[in-house]
Amino acid sequence: MNVFVKSISVCLFTFCLFSNAHAILPIEKLDSYKGAKAYLVQTKALPMVDIEVSIDAGDRHDPAGKSGLADMVAGLMNYGVKSEKGVLTEAQIADEIADLGANIGLSVSGERAILRIRSLSRKDLRDRAVQLAAAMLSAPTYDSKIVEREKQRTITSLLEAETKPEFVLERRFKKSVYGNYPLADSPTVKSVAAVSVNDLVQFHKQFYRGDRMIVSIVGDIDRAQAEEIVKALLKQIPASGQPIAKLPELERSPVEPLAQREIQIPFDSQQAHIAMGMTAVARNNPDYFPLLVGNYVLGGGGFVSRLMAEVREKRGLAYSVFSYFIPGKENGIFQAGLQTKSDQAALALEVMSSTTAQFIADGPTPSELVAAKANLVNGYPLRIDNNRKLLDNVSSIAWNDLPLDTMDVWTKQVEAVTLEQVNAAFKKYLAMDRMKIVVLGAKNK
């Protein structure tokens, strides 16, 4: 194949991906079941179906002194379940998943627990995968011997992780930024050891119920089949339960300058690891897009970003430097960071800080704004070019209560961002004298 023909083929393939993505963008809202919301995107490109159940049962709901409980509740759901076939062991569950050629995974973030299923859309295989996932959701056994075994594994992993500077830095940064909000807490050896079987059972009973769930489905099925899946998944799930205590409000970064902004952490490391940030915006905030576009210029655009130019290209202080906004459903944070030689930490931090401060004060240039918007818009097809990425988008839209046409209008919202909006948003939400800074491993000044 000559170069010209190969180029045409690549262009046609990219066009087809983009066209197919847009052809399947409409999100259908399904009938609510057991109090759970449900959404579907139909795509016939592959004989596959991807399903996600999001549960409002994330780390922020861990009780005091038992950080890690939410992770263990979800993580142990595939280590033994009560099903229509009787009790299934972890080995039987693994064999069933392998026999189906499916994937069933569980994960937990600060806000939510997530169960994901990937299966062929053929009804017999799909139904078996859904039935198994339904048993995980509704009837995990939490066998005491397995719980103790997994607690010890978790403790061993934590002890190993505590020798890694990236792990220690991220924990201390979270604690610094989130303060007294539950997301500040992370699992420790002590908190994991304190978790009992009864804690797992009670947490599952309290949080795993229909009115705290959202089901998102992408794949080769129609609306009627999707609603059957939702009902099968949630058949044994209670619709509601006892009232759950409201989480405390996140303490926003104060208007006044912070008296203690920087935390120095001694660490035996050749490199200094630096994180800087503060609380920011939720995903549904109207200023999300100005901040997204502006941050592409500041530190989100890789080699074309201001931070990369100042820290790496001009001074060679770090191999990589970044900044990003992490928006959630109810709150978010801004974070910038790098790692450098210990004896260069002070200079690297000063350059990262001054570059960020200048951007907050002056914003991007007109040409930087145009380039940032073009890169984001042109890269958009890669955000939705397969079922898993589509599911990520549908899930985010549903979780964050965004309009169902969000994927359709995403590029228009990026293109509509103005210099004035970027400048106003960065000044409104960021201020250098309120940034929290954690420096790990640097030599004392």
Calculate mean pLDDT across residues 55-64: 96
- What mean pLDDT is reported for the chain? 91
* pLDDT (tens digit per residue) in 165-180: 999 999 999 999 998 8
Of the options 3.20.20.210, 1.10.3720.10, 3.30.830.10, 3.30.420.40, the CATH number for the domain spanning 262-440 = 3.30.830.10
The radius of gyration computed from the CA coordinates of the chain, to the nearest angstrom, equals 24
Going from N- to C-terminal start, the domains of the chain cover 26-234, 262-440
Q: Would you state the pLDDT for residue 248?
A: 87
Calculate mean pLDDT across residues 400-429: 96
Cα–Cα distance measured from residue 430 to residue 427, given in angstroms and rounded to the nearest whole number: 6
Confidence of residue 249 (pLDDT cuts 50, 70, 90): confident
Confidence of residue 259 (pLDDT cuts 50, 70, 90): low
**Given this chain, do its domains 26-234 and 262-440 carry the same CATH topology?**
yes
Q: Would you state the pLDDT for residue 254?
A: 56
Which helix (DSSP H) or strand (DSSP E) does residue 341 occupy? strand 332-341
Q: Would you state the pLDDT for residue 260?
A: 59
CB environment 117-150: b (16+ within 10 A), e (fewer): bbbbbeeebbebbbbbbbbbbbbbbbbeebbeeb
Confidence of residue 15 (pLDDT cuts 50, 70, 90): very low
Q: Would you state the pLDDT for residue 207?
A: 97
Calculate mean pLDDT across residues 77-103: 95
Rounding to the nearest 10 degrees, give the CA dihedral for residues 260, 278, 186, 329. 150
Calculate mean pLDDT across residues 8-21: 39
Q: Would you state the pLDDT for residue 50?
A: 98
* pLDDT (tens digit per residue) in 276-289: 999 999 999 999 99
Higher per-residue confidence, 65 vs 252: 65
> Which numeric CATH code is attached to 26-234?
3.30.830.10
Cα–Cα distance measured from residue 75 to residue 140, given in angstroms and rounded to the nearest whole number: 10
Higher per-residue confidence, 268 vs 218: 218
Confidence of residue 258 (pLDDT cuts 50, 70, 90): low
Cα–Cα distance measured from residue 221 to residue 43, given in angstroms and rounded to the nearest whole number: 8
Render 272-289 in DSSP notation, one character per residue: EEEEEEEE---TT-TTHH
The answer to whether residue 117 scores a pLDDT higher than 90 is yes
Paired with 86 in beta bridges are: 83
